[in-house]
Structures are given as structure tokens and as C-alpha cells.
Amino acid sequence: MLTFDSSGLYGDGLLSKEHFGGERREELQEAMADLQARFEADELGFVDTPDADGASIAAWAEERRSEGWTDQLVIGIGGSSLGAMAVLDSALPDQRDGLRAHFADNLDPESVDRLFRTLNPEKTVVVVITKSGTTIETMSQFWLARQWLVEALGEEAANKQIVAITDPESGELRKLVDNHGWWDFDVPPNVGGRFSVLTPVGLVPLALAGYPIQELLEGARSARDNRQSLSESAQIWGTIAAEHLALADAGYNELVMMTYGDRLQSLVDWFCQLWAESLGKARNRQGELVHRGMTPIKAVGVTDQHSQVQLYMEGPHNKHITFLEVRNFEADRIIPESPPLPRALQHLQGKPISEVFAAELRGTRDALRQAGRPTSSWIFERITPGSVGAFLFAWQMITAVAGELMDIDAFDQPGVEMGKKIAHGLLGRPGFEEYAQQGQGGPDGPAEESRRIL
């Protein structure tokens, strides 16, 4: 079970139920209707991703696992890797008893080198994920991986250990698939990267890892189908999105997601990309400069009670803190009663660690509320594939509705595209010379404003 508690968003100086009546309710209904129309026009394919053919992918992955591979090297970045990483990190050991997954997402030279020194090419499947086939970080690392396999095994054998997940018809990677006969899966054309975790982008690496993708999809379907009518959608996803936007309009434009459950930490990383890249936009749909967005911030309880919470309690009133709470853990320990702790700590003895953990969460949340800070909670009865799937789909829907309410396109990323073009220009891609000239600074030397430290 997964529930959302928004009670900490209401009260003196925060939101009121009256805030969502009248004109605002009409705006929400209009936004939901526009979104529904885009779904029906097949523009936004993420709403159909819980219907993915998980059984076929799982069967294919089982065949690959039976061939004796031990590891998979997953090469992708952003939405091509964060979803699978988040789901795998949320899993128990018996939910990932297949191929060990190693994610080559960042392009740090030392990390790249370490991966190839660590893995055995004879036992490793390479999974490359890029819709366009021109992603600099992904294709650079993939070309290294392909050479690594070919040098160790020969080209014919290497081709049998490559899986490509890309556009079904076009793009540079699709051409390579057609030329070399690699295993391949399609990225649905109407699903963007950060909304793709429930497509082969996430499902193939998860299935290879032995994760129960059918249960993940069932959780997402339940979250979607239990809210199938427009009125229910407006009441659930729309209300949550409207609450977040109302807080942002009141100055609370930073959203802290603080997890009290280490298995959910990577899920926060996935959320941060979804929220930031979808809603951080310079222009609205009319082309007007609006510079909209809410900054997502990752926090970990209880660790960040000793680092970030001081700022949340006494710093500027610009943060909404949403907690990820786990009611039941799969393992626990009792603090021993003997020998006795110092008197000031003896009340801890005989208590389960989970009880101490829960008290820390409640203490932090209640203290923030007393300080007049808005809080909300996502409550996982247990961390299961179903609850993780529901969480993923819920936030995709909330993000989509928020984009409609903000009158921005939540499904593009023009700010990211310019950086890619400049990088291609600096690296010498033909036709991108003008972008190279836009690059400033770089490896040629420090700027005039630089101060030498060492």
C-alpha cells in the first residue's frame, strides 16, 4: 500500500481548502481535460507504459540468464538509467538474483576505466540505451565497451552479447543494430526518457537482474486504473499537483524529498530528474518568458538531520519538505539491554532500531510543522515492487498535471539541448562550428576572475 498525506501543507500561513475553490478549481479541471485530450491523441505514451508486455521481456531475460552470463553493463544516462537504478536499489537481494547490474552513466574517465578493469568480457552482457543514438556520453562509452568485447572475444561472439534499446525506426543506434544483428528493444516514440522507466528502457535491465517486473507493472497499473475517470484523476493527481504549485506561488519553490528508508534513496534521484527537467522552463506555451520551476533537493533521514535540517528549520521560508516513510521493514535489530547504556540513553535499550528510526522521522516532521514549514508524506506500508511501481506512475502523472497548470511543456528539455550542441561543437562535429564559438572558458586556461587556491 502507498498513501500520500498532505495534512502538513494546511494551517496558519500555509494552504487552506478554500484556496482550491472557484477559479482555481476551474483551472484544474481545464488542465486535466487538456491532458486527457493529449492522452487520447496518443501524444503522451507514458500513460500506457504500465501495459507493457512484461511477460515477454521476462521470458527473454530468463533465456539470457540461462546462458551463463553473470553481469550486465548498462550504458545510458539520465532517464535511460536512473529508473532502472532506482528500482534495483529498492529491491531485496532475492528480487535481484540475476545478472549483477553495473551502470555506466557518468563519463568520469576513472570510473569508466574502473568498470572495464573490473568486469570479465566473457561473462558480461552490454546493454546500450539511447533513443537518438547520438548521446555523447552513452555512445562514447558504448564504443569503448564494444571494442572491449571484440578484442576479448572476436566480433561474431561480441555481437551476441550486445543489447540495444533505441528508437524503433530511426537514429544512429538503430542503423548499427540493423548492420550487426544485436538484440534490440524499442523505445516508444511518444515516451520521453525521464518517463520511460516502465518501457524496455527500465524493464530489460531489471529483468536481466532478476527483478519481478510484472509486480512493478501491476503496481503502476493499479495506481493508474484506480484513478481512471477524469473526475477521480482531478481529485488525486490534480490536487497533489495543485498543492505543490500553490506552495510554489507562495514562495515555497524548493521541494525537499527526504527519505527515511535507504532502499528509496535512488528513487529520490529519479524523482529529482523528472521534476527538474520537466518543470524548469524559460518559456510558456505562448513563447513568453516565465522562468518557471521548482528546485528538487535530495535529503536522507536520519543523516541529514545533522546537516540540512538546520536550514529547513530556521532558514528562508522557501522549502516544502516531503517525507518518504516506510512503516514496516524486512529486517530489524533490538538494542541490547545489557550492559546498560549511560543514564541519558537507557530509554533506548530494548527498543527495535525501527522504532528509534520512526521516532526520529516523527520528531523532525513535527518540529518542522511547529516552525511553520510545509510538510507532506509518502507512506510505504512496505517497500514492494508494487508500491515502487505505483510511486513511479504517481509522480509521472503529478508532473504532467503540474506542467499543464503551469502552461509549460513538461515533455521537452531545450535548456539541455543547447549544452549538447556546444559540446558537439567543441569536440569537432561537422556543422556545429557555430556552437563551438559559443563555448566560453574551457581547458585553455583560467578565466580572469579565477583565484588560485593552491
Where do the domains of the chain lie?
Answer: 2-36+219-406, 46-211
Mean pLDDT of 303-311: 97
Contact status, residue 50 vs residue 221, Cβ threshold 8 Å: yes
Residue 436 has pLDDT above 80, yes or no: no
Question: Which residues are catalytic, by number?
Answer: 277, 306, 420
Q: For the full predicted model, state whether its pTM sits above 0.85.
A: yes
User: What is the model's pLDDT at position 266?
Assistant: 98
Question: Within 10 A of 252 (CB to CB), how many other CB atoms are there?
Answer: 22
Q: Which long-range contacts (CB under 8 A, 24 or more apart) does 233-238 make?
A: 233/32, 233/36, 233/397, 234/28, 234/29, 234/32, 237/394, 237/397, 237/398, 237/400, 237/401, 238/28, 238/31, 238/32, 238/401
3-state secondary structure of 184: strand
What is the rounded distance in angstroms from the CA atom of residue 304 to the CA atom of residue 296? Answer: 15
Q: Do domains 2-36+219-406 and 46-211 have the same CATH topology?
A: yes
Listed range (151-160, 186-195, 338-347, 415-424) with the worst mean pLDDT: 415-424
Cα-atom radius of gyration of the chain, to the nearest Å?
A: 24
Cβ atoms within 10 Å of 316's Cβ, excluding its own: 10
Cα angle 194-195-199, degrees, rounded to a multiple of 5? 115
Residues near 427 by beta carbon (within 8 Å), at least 6 away in sequence: 136
What's the mean per-residue pLDDT of the chain? Answer: 92
Query: What is the rounded distance in angstroms from the CA atom of residue 219 to the CA atom of residue 18?
Result: 33
Q: Which residue has the higher pLDDT, 25 or 143?
A: 143
Partners of 100 in the β-ladder: 71
- Rounded mean pLDDT of 340-345? 92
- What is the fold, at CATH topology level, of the domain defined by 2-36+219-406? Rossmann fold (3.40.50)
Measure the CA–CA gap between 305 and 309, rounded to whole angstroms: 5
Confirm if 205 and 124 have CB atoms less than 8 A apart.
Answer: no
Cell numbers placing 402: 503540474
Long-range contacts of 360-367 (CB under 8 A, 24+ apart): 360/260, 360/301, 360/302, 360/305, 361/260, 361/301, 361/302, 361/323, 361/325, 364/258, 364/301, 364/302, 364/305, 364/309, 365/8, 365/321, 365/323, 367/313
- CA torsion sign, 297 to 364 to 3 to 241? negative
Q: Which three cell numbers stand for residue 54?
A: 512484461
Q: For residue 350, what is its C-alpha cell?
A: 530494548
Query: Does 338 score more than 80 pLDDT?
Result: yes
Q: What is the pLDDT of residue 156?
A: 96
May I ask the CATH class of domain 46-211?
alpha beta
| Band of pLDDT at residue 326, cut at 50, 70 and 90 | very high
Cα(366)–Cα(364) distance, rounded to whole angstroms?
6
- Joined grid coordinates for residue 332: 530489524
